[in-house]
Amino acid sequence: MIVPSLVAAGVLFISYLYRKLHYKRFRQYANFPQHPSSLLLGHLQVFDEFMKKLPPKAHADMAFAAMHEALGRPPVMLVDLRPVASPMVVVSNYEVAEQIVRTSDRFPYSPPKVPEIWKQLEHLAGPKSIISADGEEWKALRKHFNPGFAPSHLVKLLPSILDKAFLFLDHLDTYASTGEEFLLQRRATDLTFDIIGHVALDFDMDAQTAHPTEFMRRFSALILTYTTEHLDLPWWCTPWTELKRHWLTTWIRKTLREMIQQRYSEGRRGAGSRSILSMSLKDIDTLTPEIVDVTVDQLTSFLFAGHDTTSTLISYAFYELSRTPHALRAVRAELDQLFGPDSDPTAVRSGEELVHRMSYTMAVIKETLRLWPPGAASRMTKSGTGFTVTTPSTAGGGEFCLDGLLVYNVHSIIQRDPSVFGETANQFLPERWLNDTSKIPVGAWRGFERGPRNCIGQELATLEVRVLIALVARRYDFTKVGIGAPALDDDGKSEIGSNGQKKAVLGMYMTRKVTSKPVDGMKMKVKLA
């Protein structure tokens, strides 16, 4: 009697599990556009098939883009990656993306970030980072640190930014004289580390020297622990990596605490610097351990985000200029007009205020971020919130409840939408930002994301890149090596396509190293122009 009862119970239990799984795979989100799903694997197999068609180490966003294209470019697309990850909605339409980041009575500062993502990066950004904080906690942090990133304050730091940039030029001069290949991404990373170290901490990282500071070496080592293919694995799958992160983080946070105490004491004596740290401490009467810890979280966030995305922007800006002759000529003409025909970079020092009048250069920056966004935006709401978006009528219309779903605004898809940017959606065309821009909806460009949670450091990032282009563009000619290298004709000259750009043997693409990066580190050669 016991055996038949156990068999019957087992059959009922298996039947229950089957119905539960069948509901989750085929009925729970059946109204969303999606590829055919598997009962056991969901879209994992489909995703894997698209990834296998991509070049080595390609970013997962490229697979999402290919899946989106194959599905007919719907405004939203469900990707069910359970049990590996939460079910995801890939957002590819700017109108939907705007609905997700806007404020509402329920989410006055837009929906919350995805906790599972930022928990993985806690060693880098800290447990109470402005990047991952929500609600009133985020509002207080943003208000507290906004003055340090204000344009009126950053302009006072231009001389120190120029000093760091001239070290970058020294390296380019060496590469130009030797003809040696080098990784532009690496050099740009060292530069932006030097700048954010000075701007945020009033501290010399010495990242561009042969002997970086110990702080710089350890912070770099911490970042490297996040750049392997094991990034998404739980800590117990990579215990030695987690132990190394803990050891490095402990040392870094201890050093930052000491630095905060020192800057606070200097400020009380009236000797505070113009750094973001010093400005954040000037109105604090009592420096409590809690304030110190929260400040450490923001400093690690600024150091990471402040060097990471800007270095990628620099790399791709010079890559695109190197393969787009008309754009490089336009940049050089603008610099000649503003700073005079002498291409000596020291001319920029005497015309610092002219950096803010580089309209074509700013268009280059904006177009680079459109084609090569270093990141994307992800949000997630709990079940029962009723968070719903409406897709545009031009795409068939429809309402979709996003409760419990990881919502992923994929900038690399949104910003290459042919329904917005036309036949030139995949082309580097800075002029699109100088002519009649009324045809481009504001929300279609999301280089620093939009809404109240946009990037606090966007003014600093664009200032750095404008300064660097002003110093570099007229003095050097870059040539891509390896992936993305120009195709040559029978005479050994670069082939120019119908779009006015040099054809490439193999197109450049992004890989994932915490954020999106050039797959080969942007390998270049450089010579004096």
Q: Which residues participate in the annotated binding site for heme?
A: 455
CA 314 – CA 369 distance, rounded (Å): 10
Give every CB contact of residue 6 below 8 A, 6+ residues apart in sequence.
Answer: none
Question: 507-520 b/e with 16+ CB inside 10 Å = b?
Answer: ebbbbbbbbbbbbb
Q: Which two tokens stand for residue 148?
A: 């340090």
Token pair of 114 as six digits: 């995805």
Distance in angstroms (rounded) separating the CA atoms of residues 493 and 317: 22
Residue 410 CA to residue 97 CA, distance in Å, equals 9
242, HSE (Cβ side, Cα atoms, 13 Å): 12
Binding-site positions read 455
- Hey, what are 509's tokens? 């693409």
Q: What ranges make up the beta strands (E) of 309-375?
A: none
What is the distance between the alpha carbons of residues 449 and 304, in angstroms, rounded to a whole number? 17
Which amino acid belongs to residue 306?
A: G
User: How distant is the alpha carbon of residue 396 from its chain centre?
Assistant: 31
Find the helix packing angle between 184-201 and 458-472, rounded to 10°: 130
CB 315 within 8 A of CB 522: yes
